[in-house]
Structures are given as C-alpha cells and as structure tokens.
Amino acid sequence: MSHADLTMEGHSAGLTSGSPFAIPTKKLAMWLFIIADTMTFAACLVAYLFLRNGTANWPTPFKFSPSIVNVMLMTFILISSSLTMLMGLRNAQAGNKAAAFRWILITAAAGAVFALLHLREWMGMIGEGVTLFHNPWGSGLFGAAFFSVTGLHLLHVTSGVIALLAVGVRYQGGRYNADDIEILGLYWHFVDIVWMFVVPLIYLLNIAR
C-alpha cells in the first residue's frame, strides 16, 4: 500500500498539477478508443457515400411511413437514453447509488428497445427482398451499405447495453465508482452521436421521391 501511495505521489503530485493532460488514464483511453472508432465509422460512411455517388440507379426506398416514422422513434429513444445516462451519472456523482443504478438500467432498457426496433426494421426489409447483394429497387450495393453501416452501429448499441448492465451491476456491488459511469457514458453518447450521422446519410438521403 505504501508502495502504491509513493507511486501516486510520483505521478500525480508533480506531473499533473496544472497540466493540460491531467485526465484520468481510463478516461483518456476511452477518448482514444472513440477517436479510433470515429475513424472506423468515417471509413464506412465515406465508402458508402463514395459508392452512392458513383451509382446511377441508387434506390431511394424509405417512405415517410413507416420507415422514417420508425427512425424518428428510434432516434427519440436513443437521444433520450443519453439523457437518462446523464441522470445516472449525476446521481452517481451525488452518491445516490440506488437512483444511479435505476437510471443506468433505464438507459440499458432504452438501448435494448432501440435494438429491437432496429431489428424489426431489418426483418421488414429482408422480407421485402433486400439482401447484401440484391434488392427490388435498384443497385444491389444499397443493401450492402445499409446493412454494414447500420449493422456496425447496432453492434455498438448491443455492446453498449451489455456494458451498461455489467458496469451497472459492478457499480451496485461497489467495485466501480462514478468515474467508471462517466467513462461508459462517454461511449454511450458517442454511439448516440454516430447515429446522428447515420440517420441523415443512410435514411434521409434515401427518402422515396
């Protein structure tokens, strides 16, 4: 223990006082992950736009109802879940453990509902004949781009829900603290922000005309 104290003094007292980089290591790591993940999403979205731009018969299948209405509902749920995440963090920082845990569970539930709505939409599209290489309306690339971009996002939401439950339970059990909630929150808000790029680029660009 004395050894650990000595280390902490060596690291935090001298170096980080007044340093612009005085950011806890785990939080920094999450930011770095977000940077890398941003590059991954950007690569996929740019690839999609590149292909879309070069394809004459790009399909625009999304009708206001049900597609866009469904997406608006999903967006509303995901943005609201960022708010509930924030409530969880505020309560955790204030020391209201039970309330914080409850808000985290609500956030996870919202994520799960988002994923279910998304899957329902997927099943509907698959039912209409959209595959990774074919669809009834135009270029087969549409399905490949749609499923890979939204699939990547869905993967993030699903992992996020699992992480929320895992971190929430460990927070409840006292192994994690408010900082860990904050770090997980960063990830959750990031997934939310990515969705704000997916909606206009994947859905609104392809509204039926």
In angstroms, rounded to a whole number, what is the distance separating the alpha carbons of residues 95 and 97? 6
In the chain, count H helices and then E strands: 6, 0
Among 6, 123, 162, 166, binds another protein (CB under 8 A): 6
Q: What's the closest the beta carbon of residue 64 comes to another protein, in angstroms?
A: 27
In angstroms, rounded to a whole number, what is the distance separating the alpha carbons of residues 170 and 11? 27
Q: Can you read off the two tokens belonging to residue 200? A: 């206009």
CA Rg value for the chain: 21
Which residue stretch of 22-30, 96-104, 156-164, 192-200 sits at the interface with another protein (rule: CB under 8 A)? 22-30
The dihedral formed by the CA atoms of 133, 135, 137 and 139, expressed in degrees to the nearest 10: 0
Residues 25-54 that bind another protein (CB under 8 A): 25-29, 32-33, 35-40, 42-44, 47, 50-51, 54
159 part of the interface to another protein, by CB under 8 A: no
CA angle 125, 128, 129 (to 5 degrees): 95
Q: Can you read off the two tokens belonging to residue 77? A: 């749920």
By beta-carbon proximity to another protein, the closer residue of 3 and 209 is 3
Q: What's the closest the beta carbon of residue 167 comes to another protein, in angstroms?
A: 13
Which among 151, 152, 80, 149 has a CA at the least distance from the CA of 113?
A: 80
**Per-position DSSP letters for 153-186, written without gaps between them:** HHHHHHHHHHHHHHHHHHHHTTSS-HHHHHHHHH
By beta-carbon proximity to another protein, the closer residue of 54 and 66 is 54
Residues 81-120 that bind another protein (CB under 8 A): none
Are 110 and 77 spatial neighbours (Cβ–Cβ below 8 Å)?
yes
Q: Can you read off the two tokens belonging to residue 207? A: 């509204």
137 part of the interface to another protein, by CB under 8 A: no
Size of the site for another protein (CB under 8 A): 48
162 part of the interface to another protein, by CB under 8 A: no
194 part of the interface to another protein, by CB under 8 A: no
Among 80, 105, 163, 179, binds another protein (CB under 8 A): 179
155 part of the interface to another protein, by CB under 8 A: no
Q: Which residue ranges make up the site for another protein (CB under 8 A)?
A: 3-4, 6-8, 10-16, 21, 23-29, 32-33, 35-40, 42-44, 47, 50-51, 54-55, 131-133, 139-141, 144, 148, 152, 177, 179-180
